[in-house]
Amino acid sequence: MREITVDVLDDMARGAGILGTGGGGDPYIGKLLAREAIRRHGPVPLLSIDEVPDDATVVPVSGMGAPTVLLEKLPAGTEELAALRALEAVIGRRATHIVPIEVGGVNSMIPIAAAAQAGLPLVDGDAMGRAFPEAQMVLPTLIGVRNTPMALADDKGNTLVVDAVSNHWAERIARAACTQMGCQVSCADTVMRGSQLRDGLVPATLTLAFSLGRAVRQARAAHTSPVLAALEVLGGVELFSGKVVDAERRTTGGFARGSARLSGDGELELSFQNEHLLARRDGAIVATTPDLICVLDTDSGEPVTTEGMRYGLRVTVLGVPCDPRWRSPGGLELAGPRYFGYDCDYHPLAGHRV
Amino acid sequence: MREITVDVLDDMARGAGILGTGGGGDPYIGKLLAREAIRRHGPVPLLSIDEVPDDATVVPVSGMGAPTVLLEKLPAGTEELAALRALEAVIGRRATHIVPIEVGGVNSMIPIAAAAQAGLPLVDGDAMGRAFPEAQMVLPTLIGVRNTPMALADDKGNTLVVDAVSNHWAERIARAACTQMGCQVSCADTVMRGSQLRDGLVPATLTLAFSLGRAVRQARAAHTSPVLAALEVLGGVELFSGKVVDAERRTTGGFARGSARLSGDGELELSFQNEHLLARRDGAIVATTPDLICVLDTDSGEPVTTEGMRYGLRVTVLGVPCDPRWRSPGGLELAGPRYFGYDCDYHPLAGHRV
């Protein structure tokens, strides 16, 4: 894919929603933002990591907040560019490329909107290879790239620039401000040079999201299983299939936290903080963060976000191995189950990511 | 007074504590910071408003947070300069003068420390003529001066720059971040030109604080009433004298909130949010914000902060008329009793401020 047009958004958003492991916000709202921006400013050139010059200034643009809030409070559409401009003012140079910080529903689409508005190309990849709830949970943290200066902008016109002593501190301070700014802001942070992209990004995740979303749609049209089609693209395993019998969530500290229980051949319990982080089958752990726990509507193959989990929904849960860098000691310290307060070690899923 | 030396700090801190109406933090800790900075960098030149050139860049430097936290977590001593430098980087010019944002315990002393560290003169005055709990409650707000960009710095080395659509929004966002940064940060904000000081400041409040503190000390040495000596300097009225029989406080939302009951000739109830804001005598309102409600130890004349109110303490409560600009409709909207959620109108104290 050489450019992102309105025609690919549906499939890409669907696939990104699946890779978003329940988080990253509702893809639908992100899609509306991206579509509007492309219609107004034209298609967005998509470059592979190899095509980005070493001295490029690559800026991830994303949304921060609780996805539950996004459902009720639509963005103004001006936040992405406001955050980008605030960051550029502080670093003293203009962005040359935009990139997603994560591949997840709304956060795969917001960078498209930002790139269209700023008239910049987008890099095909992201800094997580999935979605994670906190700003420091990116591969650049593992290679010593700071996520500050971090610029935040809200729908009212307020902006904020954080300069922190660590990527964790930036997350903590920005999250508190974000909560006060309405729990939904745009961020520009974790600036990278082109030469850092190979170590700082998981490559080609936007085209992966597109292929995944297209495979699901095509399977549905062909009356074959969209879940199997997704598995074929992703290379993971089916963990469980069943019906949601309980879902409990609360929006606290700027996050949507909670758990859901599925009933089928036994019981599966999913624990989440914006994203699905832990899956227990009949009490035994079957998958943990940083591996991907993806929940799909069994019939349609559509991604089910954590805030979309509701009683009676029939879903299939897939486990997909994470990027191998997340399995390093540093990666697990940053985004393993213990960081999130779960009293268990990482249980690596078998197999490799496609 | 032409300069601030370590010799004047005791009296000035005492007087500022009284003018701080129970807030502004413990003067003792502020005094230590100022003394250390003066010892290291030399005395701080003190200029009257008239002596500041029209094109000067005057920067208020202050502490934000809950005074209750300050008692347990001492500042690192690097925050003031870090906040100032972060602000200067954003506005693109260096400060030429420092000024207190409020005349209150720690917040009269922090600007002295900041001025000493930065090697800049201090302006004799402040933006409130008392202490108030929120950042937008300054005379500059009444004349349209924005309090952003607002720079915050904590003891760990984190900094933050807020650019908000209103002075209220800046307070709201900064307060949330401040709470996360440990509830005690330094701020540099509300930059003024020299030409704006006449409308933006209450003049000569540092020398007033000094005179007040000295009068209290001298009365004590002469075995006359320090409370009467304070009244003579301040020009207010004695509202009540009695014993603290109840004090209730909680640190929530970045503030120390609560109330205290005094017993004497009847009963006086004081309500506070960092500062004393409302005094009811036997149920009838006798003084409200923005007038100053100053609580003094009856025997020593020392200021009693809201966090220092404790059972058995014998105190005298003075009411002192505020700067007349606070009595305007705009001033009352910004800092009158209804803003703080009290269901009553402003009850102006008789008399004029000396």
Which of A86, A163, A181 lies nearest to residue B173, judging by beta carbons? Answer: A181
Across the interface, do A161 and B160 touch by the CB < 8 Å criterion? yes
Write down the residue that tokens 């002469």 correspond to.
B222
B211: left (phi over 0), alpha (psi -120 to 50) or beta: alpha
Which of A158, A160, A181 lies nearest to residue B160, judging by beta carbons? Answer: A160
CB contacts of B170 in chain A (<8 Å) are 158
What is the Cβ-side half-sphere exposure of residue A16, based on CA atoms within 13 angstroms? Answer: 36
| Domains delineated in chain B | 3-203 (3.40.1610.10), 227-335 (2.40.390.10)
pLDDT band at B69 (very low <50, low <70, confident <90, very high): low
Across the interface, do A169 and B156 touch by the CB < 8 Å criterion? yes
Q: What is the model's pLDDT at position B73?
A: 63
Cα B219 to Cα B55: distance, rounded to the nearest angstrom: 42
Q: How far is CA A136 from CA A108, A139, A253, in A?
A: 18, 9, 16
Q: What amino acid is encoded at A234 in this protein?
A: L
Across the interface, do B180 and A181 touch by the CB < 8 Å criterion? no
Length of chain B: 354
Cα B316 to Cα B230: distance, rounded to the nearest angstrom: 11
The interface predicted TM-score (ipTM) is: 0.80
Closest Cα of chain B to A252: distance in Å?
14
CB contacts of A175 in chain B (<8 Å) are 180
CB contacts of B159 in chain A (<8 Å) are 162-164
Respond yes or no on whether the N-terminal peptide bond of residue A348 is cis (omega within 30° of 0).
no
CB contacts of A181 in chain B (<8 Å) are 173
A222 contact partners, CB below 8 Å, separation of at least 6: none
Poorest-pLDDT segment among A84-88, A257-261, B113-117, B285-289 = A257-261
For B192-226, write each residue's pLDDT tens digit: 999 999 999 999 999 999 999 999 999 999 999 99
For A227-256, write each residue's pLDDT tens digit: 999 999 999 999 999 999 999 988 776 677
Cα B192 to Cα A341: distance, rounded to the nearest angstrom: 47
Across the interface, do B172 and A180 touch by the CB < 8 Å criterion? yes
Across the interface, do B176 and A172 touch by the CB < 8 Å criterion? no
DSSP state of A303: B
Give the count of Cβ contacts less than 8 A between chain A and B.
Answer: 68
pTM of the model: 0.87
pLDDT band at A67 (very low <50, low <70, confident <90, very high): low
Q: Give me Rg for the CA atoms of chain A.
A: 18
Closest Cα of chain B to A126: distance in Å?
26
Q: Quick one: which of A127, A140, A106, A126 has its CA closest to A205?
A: A126
Residue-averaged pLDDT of chain B:
92
B98 contact partners, CB below 8 Å, separation of at least 6: B58, B59, B60, B61, B84, B111, B114, B115, B118, B120, B121, B122, B123
